[in-house]
Amino acid sequence: MLERVLYLAISKDIYQEFFIDYFIQSVLERYEIKLFVFHAQKQEIVLWKN
């Protein structure tokens, strides 16, 4: 069986508006949510959090 890792992908704009909040950061850490932040216009990943 293959193991896969699920990441939440969000745009840089959404991350800057919502995900930098202390409460949201604590939820991400508590539930070990992995995410990556991408720049939509440049089509590149700007942050990768395991």
Backbone CA torsion sign across 29, 49, 21, 14: negative
In the numeric block, which tokens belong to residue 17? 């508006």
- For the segment 5-31, what is each residue's pLDDT rounded down to a tens digit? 899 999 999 999 999 899 999 999 999
Task: Give all strands of the β-sheet with 35-39 in edge-to-edge order.
Answer: 8-11, 35-39, 44-49
Confidence of residue 2 (pLDDT cuts 50, 70, 90): confident
Residue 7 CB: number of other CB atoms within 10 A?
13
The pTM for the full model equals 0.76
- The mean pLDDT of 21-48, rounded to a whole number, is 95
